[in-house]
A and B are shown apart, each in its own frame.
Chain A
Amino acid sequence: MKSTHRVTRHLLILVLLSSLLVACVAAPVTPDESATTSESMESEGPKMGGVVTGFVSSDPQNFDPAAIAGWDQGVIAPNLLEGLFRLSPDGREIEPAIAESFDVSEDGKTWTFNLRSGAKFHNGREITADDFKYSFERVLNPETRSPKAWMLSIVVGAEDFQDGAADEVSGIRVVDAQTLEIELAEPLAPFKSMLASINLAVVPQEEVEKWGEDFGQNVVSAGPFSLGEWNLNQDVTLNAFEEYWNGRPYLDAVTFRFIGDENTRIVELDAGRLDMAWVPPAHWERFSTDPVYKEKLGWAETFHTDFIAVNLESEPFGANPKLRQAVRYALDLDAVIASLQGRATVAQGILPPGLLGFDENAMLNYPVNLESAKALMAEAGYADGLPGTFDVILPPWGNLIKLLEIYQANLKEIGINIEIRPTEFGPYMEALETGNYDLAWMYRVTDYADPDGFYFPLMHSDNLGAGGNYARYANADVDANIATARATIDDAERARLYQAVDAQFAEDLPYIPLTHNIYVDVSRPRVQNYVPSPMDTHMFHRVWVEE
């Protein structure tokens, strides 16, 4: 009797303790391998083999290049998919991929690509020019329902093909097995970066036909990794592609786990079961001060700009550039960046740093200056402040509202009252598209790594309204410069044109630039040579592990 009582009591205490334990434990500061790895940092170079475990927030479901539009897909896909060009591992350069070299005709309309001999699909078959013709026509084909078909709409004959008037795209020509020719209706400089997009990756016809509707879950393409085991809703593994044209990856495989909860990712990292995780604000303090982890923070200044769009067709902000300048002078962007734990930089224009044409000196330079702001208010005729209250619409994302409250307080100081109006994404977009708003917080990322992805939709008058120019900005010089830059292949000339656009932008300020985001993740000490990229793609071709 006595002994059973004792056992019962012990068990009882155990259960109760575990119940109580939840209330009083703190996370340990460092993982246990910290001591050993700090010395091995200066290692002898890349090693073959090993597996890295990364994450995305939900099951990407589909890697068909023609269907990809989501973030989770975009993070993984560049490891699997490849086309004529690709992004460099840090995401800042466009490199030749299956195209070994290319040539653009004098008029900028005909692009000739010499394909790399020996480049293969994951199924082992050699890639030919016919495969590109097939892949591009597949994206354009309305039956494919590709959200990115517009990237090829400038190709000669694309429209006839989409309308069913032609059964092939006349502007995509196979010269021979190794030579592809694409003719554009107009010269288009950013076409190169579009060709580096995962949406225009090459796929083999036989596999697409074999898998039918299931191709997205059984993708075969030409990237450094091939699709391995995929556990629905759980994880997906990519295996090293031995015959990749640029040498097989150092890693044997990369597994991406689907973990939606940001705290769970950190716990997984601490438990040593995840090699990298995005750093949530609540964990910033810890990782940025930890002696081991602070060396393993991955920074990426993303091609992302936050700004306030001003509806130029509405009074009083639309009618008065001085008022818009006053707003920019009044905003305490440093305070906002501090509240983002330093994970952003001040935007001096619409273009994020790192893209062609970005020039710190040519950009507007509006430091926080309440005096200037008040002087501009007076010049605009509102020395005693602006009567009335103005709505700023924004998507209903919790952390945004906190930032907007800082701007609200800033603007109050120069006599402008704004009301923060979180709006569901659908109605929010509708307001931007129809022009039924005064001020809107918004952001822009680009689908292709080129300044055109910012200037053309936001500022060219062809895109007024629904096309992306939500401010309804129209300036003949700006239009001409953007159009010329689009059609100019020479980079230096393009940069000069964009800087001219920036100068005009600084005066007119149809969009009030706020900040550029910085993405920060942390990886375990074993992961080497990993950099997050500004395009939200995480490339693993040259990543290796130190065991």
Chain B
Amino acid sequence: MLGYSVRRLIQIVPILIGLVTVLFALLNILPGDPARMMAGPFADPDVVKTIREEMGFNRPLWVQYLDNLGNLARGEFGRSYQSRRPILRDLIEVFPKTIQLAVAAEVASALIGIWLGVIAAARRNGWADRLIMMIAALNLSFPLFWLALMLQIAFAVFLRLLPPSGYGIGFDRFIILPAFTLALPSLGLLARITRAALLEVMAEDYIRTARAKGLRNALVMRRHMLPNALIPIVSTIGTDFVRLLGGIPIIEVIFAWPGIGKYAYDALVFRDLPALQASVVVLAVSVSLVNLAVDLLYAYINPRIRYV
């Protein structure tokens, strides 16, 4: 298990190199010039040229690329073009806020999603089941930004229950709307998966046996059905967490959540390569670690799976 984990961690390195390479290439192929962004629109070309030289943008691309890779290998994220401040210091401040949001969203979607799935399975083909499945499908198909706006209007303007955007101290009322919005599509997906998994387990012989010996329905569900249905659910949560991280930038921008997604978005707008690259690297490492954690969790839940 340890050997397996170490091997998986080592595999992250080539992935990161590939990622940094693609990012570097994209930012250099894509039009947009960081020197011009720093000088302001319609700036004097001499000013742009001076900045380009000062920042080393006039060096051959491969020199810039290797230089950049070398810095990363030494764990140096460099300084932001915009703020001229060390990026590492920024990331230490913004990344935990993203983790808070992602965890809150995942916990919310898991709890509510599984719960809805259980109810749907228990009341199979009843009105609750149909309604839940319909809503689950709807949630999956709405664009995030639209969901976000509607929830803001509903809960902040109309009901005045929650602040529409911003950040407080972390897990407080500010996190509810962004986390819930982020959770909605996952929640629908999880409800469907849970229902399907439960229905499959429900047909098993041991469930009939449990019922036959006179166990109450709720107990059968809790003790025999749910644990056995957990494997597809956990794997869904795992892959879903990665998908959820993908939704983070747009949610952070809409809800003015000061996390790494908003940070990366602004860096992209300003063509701030070092800041953007550092954010993407941090996010990529987190995704890899989450994937690893999900695989390890599998083995724990399902004794039939063992890694060597």
Residues in chain A within 8 A of chain B (CB atoms): 8-9, 12, 15-16, 18-23, 25-28, 58-59, 61-62, 67, 69-70, 142, 145, 147, 149-150, 213-214, 216-217, 231-234, 257-261, 263-264, 267-268, 270-271, 273, 424-427, 429, 433, 444, 447, 457, 466-468
Contact = CB atoms under 8 A, between A and B. Distances in A.
B93 A232 contact: yes
A424 B132 CA distance: 46
Interface in B113-159: 116, 119, 128, 131-132, 135, 138-139, 142, 147, 149-154, 156-158
A142 B263 CA distance: 29
Overall SS of chain B's interface: helix
B31 A150 contact: no
Contact of A261 (B31, B150, B253): B253
A142 B50 contact: yes
A69 B153 contact: no
23 contacts: A21-B150, A25-B150, A61-B80, A61-B83, A69-B39, A70-B270, A142-B54, A147-B51, A150-B46, A217-B85, A232-B258, A234-B166, A234-B258, A257-B166, A261-B165, A264-B164, A267-B152, A268-B166, A270-B156, A273-B164, A425-B41, A466-B45, A468-B42
Given A58-B266, A234-B258, 13 more contacts: A22-B142, A62-B83, A147-B43, A150-B44, A150-B46, A213-B85, A233-B266, A264-B254, A264-B255, A267-B152, A267-B164, A270-B157, A429-B42
B147 A22 contact: yes
B256 A260 contact: yes
B257 to A, nearest CB: 9
B36 interface: yes
B295 interface: no
Contacts of B45: 433, 466-467
Given A61-B80, A267-B157, A259 B165 contact: yes
Given A27-B158, A233-B94, A433-B45, A259 B256 contact: yes
Contact of B47 (A149, A231, A264): A149
B160 interface: yes
A310 B38 CA distance: 28
Contact of B157 (A28, A59, A145, A426): A28
A142 B54 CA distance: 9
Contacts of A20: 135
Contacts of A21: 150, 154
A62 to B, nearest CB: 5
B154 A217 contact: no
Given A27-B158, A28-B158, A260-B253, A12 B165 contact: no
Contacts of B33: 425-426
Contact of A268 (B94, B165, B253): B165
B40 interface: yes
Given A61-B83, A264-B164, A150 B47 contact: yes
Nearest to A4: B218
The 4 closest A-B pairs by CB, nearest first: A424-B31, A233-B258, A22-B150, A69-B40
A193 to B, nearest CB: 17
B123 to A, nearest CB: 10
A145 B54 contact: yes
Interface of B: 30-33, 36, 38-47, 50-51, 54, 79-80, 82-85, 90, 93-94, 112, 116, 119, 128, 131-132, 135, 138-139, 142, 147, 149-154, 156-158, 160, 163-167, 184, 253-256, 258-259, 262-263, 265-266, 269-270
A28 B159 CA distance: 10
Contacts of B139: 19
A70 B40 contact: yes
Contacts of A424: 30-32
The residue among B54, B84, B142 with the most chain A CB atoms within 10 A of its own CB is B84
Contact of B44 (A12, A22, A270, A467): A467
Nearest to B30: A424
A116 B51 CA distance: 36
Contacts of A257: 166, 256
Contacts of A214: 85
A145 B38 CA distance: 10
A147 B47 contact: yes
B38 A69 contact: yes
B265 A271 contact: no
A444 B42 contact: yes
B83 A217 contact: yes
Contacts of A267: 149, 152-153, 156-157, 164-165
Contacts of A67: 84
Contacts of A427: 31
A525 to B, nearest CB: 17
Contact of B167 (A58, A234, A433): A234
The residue among B38, B51, B128, B153 with the most chain A CB atoms within 10 A of its own CB is B153
B166 A273 contact: yes
Contacts of B44: 150, 467-468
A463 to B, nearest CB: 9
Contacts of A233: 90, 93-94, 258-259, 262-263, 266
A267 B177 CA distance: 13
B40 A232 contact: no
Contacts of B46: 150
The residue among B93, B94, B157, B253 with the most chain A CB atoms within 10 A of its own CB is B157
Nearest to B163: A273
Contact of B128 (A12, A273, A467): A12
